[in-house]
Structure 1
Amino acid sequence: MNELLQILQKSDYLKNLDNSVLFITLASLITWGVWRFVYSRLLNLSERTAFHWDDLLLHALKTPISTLIWCWPATISLGLILEDQIKAEFNWLTTLKHLMLITIFVWIFIRLINEVEQQFLRDKKRDETTVQAIAKVARLCFVVIGLLSFMQAFGLSLSGLLTFGGVGGLIVGLAAKDLLSNFFGGMMIYFDRPFKVGEWIRSPDREIEGTVERIGGRMTIIRTFDKRPLYIPNSVFSNIVVENPSRMLNRRIYETIGLRYQDSDKIPNIIDQIKLMLENHPEIDAHQTMIVNFSSFGPSSLDFFIYTFTKTVNWIRYHEIKQDVLLQVINIIKENDADIAFPTRTLFVEPNSQADIANQPPEQQQ
């Protein structure tokens, strides 16, 4: 009889346990449905506003909140089942719940940072390299906060961890100084912004020239104009001069042209016409320095120079404009019945010397 009562009691307990688990699961399903309904309503409202931050926040909350709605009740159900089977208390389930909350918290903020980063990159109103750098630092901060919270949840002392981290950081810094110098060199590139992804840079100190493809935590990748990749440690950029032609305001045309000595009387007219042509050229920036002047007496030419700036900074377009300017200069020179000089040498023979040679015997003339 006692055995029968025990069996009935156990059967009732199992039924209650099953009912509790089933109730928790149904409650999770209902809560998830309510959350999906509320999320869709909030999303519709946020899409009607011109303010984008509410959209980003909702997108960041969607998956983590759904995960929490299912995982938190599942942890409670797991605790009930284990307590029934093993007849013991499971304190680690409480720790697991704390870890779950920390994970959800960090997950939400990382998703929010990613959404904000993508929004800024889509708008193209801010520097891409700076946006990526700030996003990386923010993600790293929340990951570190999450790890410290994990350790505290396991009962470790944060003060002890920080003390150990200070000593360990000194040891690691001495052992991996090159790695750290590259990391901080990358941070300086991000915040000083001497260049960014997509820009053309070169260094007169090193054989470095090309387009920046990626600025990483340890090295920067530059694609040269012959399509070779250069992998340069970030610490190098703190010790060299970097030139950034992509940020030029104008490109300069600086050419020296020589005329024949017999065209000396035509130089003033040629210079005036060339200067007028440059002032009226649609692709020449007349607000910048413009000089066209006779400069020197060359060995076989009278030299003048052209010093002016184009409006464009595009490399291909610049050479097209420069070609057009030089062709017009040639036409102006031709229109003035002058010509461009080339290296020549004139030999003068004294007449007396010619007579002496003519009076010499034939065998000596040879």
Structure 2
Amino acid sequence: MYQIKDNALYFLTQNSFLNVPLYKIAQGLGIFLFFLFLRKLFALVVLGVLKQIVKKTKSSFDDKVLDIVSGPLKFTFIIVGFYLAVNIMQIDTQMIDKIVRSMIIAAIFWLFFNIVTVLEKAIFNFAKKFGKELYREIGNFFIKSLKIFIFSVGLVAILQEWDINVSAFIASLGLGGLAFALAAKDTAANLFGGLTILADKSLKIDDWIKVDDVEGVVEDIGLRTIKVRTFEKSLVTVPNQIVANNPIENFSRRDIRRIKMRIGLTYSTTKEQMSAILKNIKDMLKSHPKIDQKATMLVNFDEFEDSSLSIFIYCFTNTAKWDEYLAIKEDVNLKIMEIVETAKAEFAFPSQSIYVEKIDLNSLKDKKI
């Protein structure tokens, strides 16, 4: 047993990897694993106890603060563990210093990122000042813009730490920089398209729209695209510049919905029956509680069709909701059927009448003679 221990110590002290003795690497890994254990312990014990405490308070401020700092604090254990590990290994290089500083920068901007996430409700409340109808869209726009800004500044800070000049790097790409500029052109067009949509208030989340052959319900309005859930339940992503540059048919902005139909009566219908049916349909529509009385209402016998006397019916329901509209239209149809049956008339259907001429057989015989 002692022999094995001595051999292991000899192996660790007499051998190295990248000029670092193996025993120092083992010590460094041990320190790093120890800090990972402390991180797990901190998350389970300290943060767990704090979560239970803040739940009992009346204010939600302490809950938000805890949500903001939890992730960066746990990441701090990794930073400290890594720093101590490389110090024990006596790896003192400029690259290690840059890695540690980059991790610290990432933790700081992670904190800022979490602040935006936790304060989403406050941002939405602020967005209501610009209009209650579009506060969700404007709030989402602010939140995504802030997150992208924080991420971009953090990334630039880390690149600068590695002595990378971002502007010079993009400029030195040549054709790559041109491609980047062209890609940025489309991104900018989509961004300004999104701003145009919000400024025009042409649509909002939950609106039923049709734009560029895409029809459905708006689920999200983003910086680059809007997401539309079609009635087949598929999700279609439409770039903002397409939405801004094409006609938008917003069905949700109407508060009434049209009923337009024709009914045909047989040619056996008399003038008196037709007059009674027209009058009764008009009276029914005028007294119907679900038919908009201020909108256009037409009931006219306007055409002699091939197999029917055609009545044109045109009116509007007082709702635009699909299910309610169908229920109203069904009720109107049933009442029209009742009116026609009461008048003892019949609905026509496409038909043809064949008339066979009667032939005088005696006259045919005389012609043969």
Question: Fold match, TM over 0.5?
Answer: yes
Alignment of 1:280 with 2:287, yes or no, is yes
In structure 2, the partner of 1:253 is 259
Residues 199-253 of structure 1, C-alpha deviations (whole Å, 9 max, x = no match) = 55445x64x4455677788877766555667676666556654534354433211
Matched with 2:21 is: none
Give 1:62-81 correspondences, 5 Å limit: 62-64=69-71, 66-67=73-74, 70=77, 74=80, 78=84
Sequence identity, in percent?
26
Partner of 1:329: 336
Q: Distance in 1 between matches of 2:160 and 2:185?
A: 27
How many Å separate the matches in 2 of 1:317 and 1:169? 60
Structure-2 change in CA distance of 1:121 and 1:316 (3 Å)? farther
For residues 235 and 178 of structure 1, the distance between their equivalents in structure 2, rounded to whole angstroms, comes to 14
Task: Give the counterpart of 1:112 among 105, 111, 115.
Answer: 115
Task: Indicate how the Cα distance of structure 1 residues 323 and 119 shifts in structure 2: closer, same or farther if over 3 A, else same.
Answer: farther
Task: Give the aligned residue type for 2:302.
Answer: S
Distance 1:245 1:56 in 2: 41
**Is the Cα contact below 8 Å between 2:171 and 2:177 reproduced in 1?**
no
Alpha-carbon displacement from aligned partner over 1:248-282 (angstroms, at most 9, x marks no partner): 43321101223345432344433332223223323
Is the 8 Å Cα contact of residues 207 and 250 (structure 2) preserved in structure 1? yes
Retained in 1: the 8 A contact 2:141–2:223?
no
Aligned partner of 2:161 among 139, 142, 153: 153
Whether 1:263 and 2:270 are equivalent positions in the alignment is: yes
Tell me which amino acid in the other structure corresponds to 1:161. Answer: V
CA contact (8 A) 2:134 2:204 kept: no
Give the 3 Å change call, closer, same or farther, for CA 126–170 of structure 1 in structure 2. Answer: farther
Deviates more, 1:325-334 or 1:120-129: 120-129
SS at match of 1:360: helix
> For the residues of structure 2 that align with 1:274 and 1:190, how far apart are their CA atoms?
49
Counterpart position of 1:137 = 145
Identify if the C-alpha distance between structure 1 residues 213 and 125 changes in structure 2 by more than 3 Å, giving closer, same or farther. closer
State the match for 2:346 in structure 1: 339
Shift of 1:319: 2.5
| Counterpart position of 1:360 | 363
3-state secondary structure, aligned to 1:254 = strand
Where 1:109 maps in the other structure, the secondary structure is helix
Compute the displacement of 1:63 (Å): 0.8
Secondary structure, in 3 states, of the residue corresponding to 2:281?
Answer: helix
In the alignment, the residues of structure 2 paired with residue 274 and residue 176 of structure 1 have an alpha-carbon distance, to the nearest angstrom, of: 65
Q: How many residues align?
A: 321
Report the aligned-residue RMSD: 5.3
1:1-366 alignment runs, 5 A limit: 47-48=58-59, 54=61, 57-64=64-71, 66-67=73-74, 70=77, 74=80, 78=84, 82=87, 86=90, 98-117=101-120, 131-156=139-164, 160-165=165-170, 171-174=176-179, 177=182, 181=186, 184-185=189-190, 188=193, 192=197, 200-202=208-210, 206=213, 208-210=214-216, 225=231, 237=243, 240-260=246-266, 262-343=269-350, 360-362=363-365, 364=367
Whether the 8 Å CA contact 2:83–2:100 is kept in 1: the answer is no
